[in-house]
Amino acid sequence: MTGHQPRPIDPAALAELRAADDAGRPCRPYTATEGGHPLRCCLRGSEPGERIALVSYAPLRRWAAATGAGPGAYDEQGPVFIHAEPCAGPDPRRGGYPFARAGALRTVRRYDARGHIVGGRLLEIPAEPDEGFDAALDEAFADPEVALAHVRAVEYGCFHFEVRRG
């Protein structure tokens, strides 16, 4: 990677989401019967038997509240999986970008300091996922207006992770 750091959901936000999600609904944990659900708390796939929850999350809204930005109509929320209880977060020994399956489609959406969309691109994850993500994020942050980028799945629009200007 060329210095881009995928960010998990902040532990303070996770604590709030485990009580009530960003749509105001109570968290409803369940035991995963199969693995692979993309956990945004630790940036890895779930394992069978883990207690997880599907919650509504508004990443831009939370970033805007912390920075004083005003995203207006660009504020949105969507479904994300998290552990039902606090976890250790991402494993620091694990390298690369999370949820990077060759052939999967992602959007890399760019936001300025106001929280407004200033572009984006479609990324089909190549056989060398880190190179593909590095190139897409290098392109995004080559624009000095870009403050952060969100990586989302095309199929469901799910937020996968955020990268902020270094």
Query: Which tens digits make up the pLDDT trace of 55-84?
Result: 999 999 999 999 999 999 999 999 999 999
- Phi, psi for 60 (deg, rounded to 5): -70, -40
Residue 95 has pLDDT above 90, yes or no: no
Angle among Cα 165, 119, 158 to the nearest 5 degrees reads 80
pLDDT-based confidence at 3, cuts 50/70/90?
A: confident
Residue 1 has pLDDT above 70, yes or no: no
Residue 150 has pLDDT above 70, yes or no: yes
Query: Which tens digits make up the pLDDT trace of 103-142?
Result: 999 999 999 999 999 999 999 999 999 999 999 999 999 9
The amino acid present at 77, given as its one-letter code, is Q
The structure's pTM equals 0.93
